[in-house]
Amino acid sequence: MRTEHKTIEELLLYLENPIGVEDDETIENHLAECDECVSDLSFLDSLRAGLQSYSRYSGELVKAGVSTHLTNIEIPGYINDACNDDEKGRIVSHLAGCSSCLEDVFTVKSLITQLERESSLIEKSYLISKFIIGHPTRIGSVEKEGKSLVREAARVGIAMFDIGRSLSFSFEGAEASKTDHGEEYRKMETADFTIEIVQPAGKESNVTIGVLAKGNLANAKITICAEEERTEIVSLENRRAIINKKDIQAEAIRYIKIEKV
């Protein structure tokens, strides 16, 4: 009696199994009586062989410098299916032959998926920060997501200094500079405050944080996160407060959250 046709998944699994394994008995009993499934098996095998030839050929084009590496604009465009069929064709053929760009595309794609699933702004900033550290040359691929996160965080009172600094080349409102005197200076704005961080020259664990409220306020609740979060209430005089921290480096400050009290 003829058994049911095998699914694509079952045929793919059979292809992957080493020859001569006992697990194959059932499927081979079916293949013995079903030319249609043998034809499907051949189709899958040829598709695989076709794609392997494609990769080998693409790899040669990459080596010869004919197929150019993907830019930081092309990667998100491709991932979001925002390019036309011809561009897509060029990109996927490059990816088939370039493991480095393929890895970058997978990493960016995975990051975007994680960002879509994550609701916490702080967790999102961790993800972007981790990506930036691991793939410094690909920052531009996540510029849109990074900038939009910094803006969204600023609206709810969080100044994301770590990713804001990395994106500062293009993000309006985040500044990082070394002054003439050698001190570190950073400034970011949230909806209600302007926050400045100054680290004097030669004092690597000594920062001054300046807070300027945009409206009249007496107190503010400030949370500074370097290795861990520390929260305190500060009094504002003429809308300003100066906070000195002796055990924090400017570079280590990930974000500062500031709320009206």
Partner 1 sequence: MNNDELIELQRVIRSGGPEAEGAASRFCDVVKDTMKRILSSISYKYSQEYLEWGVNEAFLAFRDNWDPEKGKYFKVYLWRYVKERVRIAIARDKGKESSIDIPLGGDGDEGSGTIGDLVEDKDISSEDKCHASELSAIMINVFNKMDSRIQLIMVEYFSNRSTYREIGLKLNIDHTTVMRNLTEEGIKPLRSEIEGYFKDQDLKYDSEVVLKSLGNFLIKRNIDNENRT
Interface ranges with partner 1 (CB under 8 A): 7-9, 12, 14-15, 18-20, 24-25, 28-29, 31-33, 38-39, 41-55, 57-58, 61, 66-67, 78-81, 85-86, 88-90, 92-93, 95-96, 99, 102, 105-107, 109-110, 113-114
How far CA 239 is from CA of 172, 179, 207, 219, 232, in Å, comes to 23, 25, 20, 9, 17
Under 8 Å between Cβ of 90 and 62: no
**What is the Cα–Cα distance from 91 to 83, expressed in whole angstroms?**
10
Question: Which residue, 43 or 169, has its beta carbon nearer to partner 1?
Answer: 43
Residue type, 260: K
Q: How far is the CB of 111 from partner 1 (least distance, A)?
A: 8
Q: In what order do the strands lie in the sheet with 184-189?
A: 175-178, 184-189, 193-199, 207-213, 240-245
Q: How far is the CB of 166 from partner 1 (least distance, A)?
A: 22
Question: Which residue, 61 or 217, has its beta carbon nearer to partner 1?
Answer: 61
Q: How far is the CB of 126 from partner 1 (least distance, A)?
A: 15
Terminal CA-to-CA distance of the chain, rounded, Å?
79
Question: Which residue, 33 or 229, has its beta carbon nearer to partner 1?
Answer: 33
CA 43 to chain CA centroid, nearest Å: 37
DSSP-derived letter for residue 69 is P
Question: Which residue, 102 or 122, has its beta carbon nearer to partner 1?
Answer: 102
Question: Which residue, 52 or 244, has its beta carbon nearer to partner 1?
Answer: 52
Q: How far is the CB of 114 from partner 1 (least distance, A)?
A: 6
**What is the Cα–Cα distance from 11 to 37, expressed in whole angstroms?**
8
Q: How far is the CB of 59 from partner 1 (least distance, A)?
A: 10
